[in-house]
Amino acid sequence: MKQAVIVTGGTVDFKFALSYIKEQKPEITAAVDAGMEFFLKAGEKPDVIVGDFDSVKPETLNFFKGQQGIDWLTLVPEKDDTDTEAAIREVIRRGCKKIHILGATGSRLDHVLSNIGLLGMGFSSGEEILIVDPCNRIRMVEKGISIKKEEQFGDYVSLLPFTPKVSGLTLKGMKYPLFQYEYSCFSSLGISNEIVGDEAEITFSQGILLVIESKDRQK
């Protein structure tokens, strides 16, 4: 499966991001605007750079403009989508089926929520898109999934409906099980569940579900 890692312009934990990229071994890396700062610090060259370049430092932009072997997708500031959305479309166009996004969380809550909303972009053509930071792995699913305890990210699994209702929600192998539950918005029922078996099974008949694997930040 061809993978991409996109580093966008939110909060990037350098040590975590460097380790994560080495672990995933993506075929394509993409820097989105200020995401270039990570690659500069790491001494690495992204395969693709995307953005309107309104947030990256001018000296960083000029450094990469002088590099060979980078594909550029230059956008205008006045547009209908974000730089991150454009980057996702670009790596999908290049045949990537699993897309990891780093730097998609941070202080700009509007961007965080927008980025979470982009996780469903791959539904129609079969791509899996994840947002990852040191404490969270976030994905959006339209059908049931299983999570092996030994492979989970962190300590907790939280579930939130992205559509008004998620029907027939059934949870097995978890501390707080459910059976054929109709999970509606405006409820915190699905927060901070835990995997107690070897594997958690999450199934539902209709709707779209956010799955957030998380852990508390170490002090």
Same domain, residue pair 130 and 153: no
Cα angle: 140, vertex 168, 186; to 5 degrees: 60
Same domain, residue pair 122 and 18: yes
Convert the pLDDT of each residue in 146-204 to its tens digit.
999 999 999 999 999 999 999 999 999 999 999 999 999 999 999 999 999 999 999 99
Q: Residue 219 domain-assigned?
A: no
Same domain, residue pair 156 and 107: no
Same domain, residue pair 119 and 25: yes
Same domain, residue pair 118 and 153: no
Look at the chain and report how many structural domains it folds into: 2
Q: Which residues form the domain of 155?
A: 141-214
Q: Name the amino acid, one letter, at 68.
A: Q
Same domain, residue pair 75 and 182: no
Q: What is the pLDDT of residue 219?
A: 52
In terms of pTM, does the model score above 0.85? yes
Residue 79, pLDDT > 90, answer: no
Q: What is the mean pLDDT of residues 4-13?
A: 96
What residues contact residue 162 under an 8 Å CB cut-off, 6+ apart? Answer: 120, 140, 207, 208, 209, 210
Convert the pLDDT of each residue in 40-59 to its tens digit.
999 999 999 999 999 999 99
Residue holding tokens 């450094």? 63
Collapsing DSSP states into helix, strand and coil, what is residue 66?
A: coil
For residue 126, give both structure tokens. 């079969």
